[in-house]
Amino acid sequence: MNGILPLWKERGMTSHDCVFKLRKILKTKKVGHTGTLDPGVEGVLPICIGQATRIAEYLTNAGKTYEAVVSIGRTTTTEDAEGETVEQNISYKQFSRSEVLTALKSLTGEIEQTPPMFSAVKVNGKKLYEYARAGQTVERPTRKITIYELELLDDAESFEGEEVQFRIRIKCSKGTYIRTLAVQIGEALGFPAHMHELVRTASGTFSTENCFTLAEVQALMEEGKASEFLLPVEYALSNYPFIEIDSTNEKQILNGQVLPQHALLKEHDKIVYSVNGRAFAVYIAHPTKAGQMKPDKMFPEVE
């Protein structure tokens, strides 16, 4: 069994829980997820099976889309609704639509974030949440991430109350913490804030419309219909140019040799060489040899 299962991860489960259950349902050990989703978050979680595990890092590194509810009025230990209150402002608040849009615009583009203490980021070989659970606070590395789009989904002209909430859509790079972004939005508006709710609606080329729940996968497997939920590796690579292998380069590519750099690598970070439309090798610019390219992933089992 080879391919990618676009799974809809339900709330209350860890990404590892999903992998564990799928190994039993699919009766295969070679199963890997493509980026952690917190237990309290539901949404798109592409799962790589068999050969497809070779490109799991591509999917992990791909851009993501989320819909979140930001709550203005208090911060929490976890930066989401599940944590204990750290700071609270119960004053009556009123924001115009323009003020909220200005705050969102200020956080669009390349910005800096400091990962929350309750996260899987490692410091000195230990995950931050392990320090947090032990009641310890350590210095966390600030990193740059990119918010490609930050859209206000509510159509109200004003937002008011002791705890103000509004829904946003975020298109962002790998490594973005939406919980932290919610806190940053609150800071831009001058109040403590946290993320009240979160759903991931897209991961790379996979979206809500593609997804199957664990129960649906189980039912299809029992009916012998694995092909209905399993997408080919090519689907995940569809953002990159495909070039059919021909007699001029067949021997070199099939042997995984370094080649002169293809012109398309000036516009894309990867190109895919294929046999009858099936991906055979993913090439990238050579990191040390100017003007050359090398295979990054290969799928020699292709017929």
Write out the catalytic residue numbers: 38
Output the six-digit token pair for 182.
């919610």
> Closest Cα partner for 236 from 22, 1, 6?
6
1 contact partners, CB below 8 Å, separation of at least 6 = 26, 28, 49, 50, 226, 230
Q: Which residues are 11's β-sheet partners?
A: none
What three-state secondary structure class fits 285?
strand
Bridge-based pairing of strands 74-76 and 109-113 is: unpaired
The alpha carbon dihedral of 255, 258, 264, 268 has a sign of positive
CA pseudo-torsion sign 57, 62, 65, 66: positive
Q: If DSSP codes are grouped into helix, strand and coil, which group holds residue 201?
A: strand
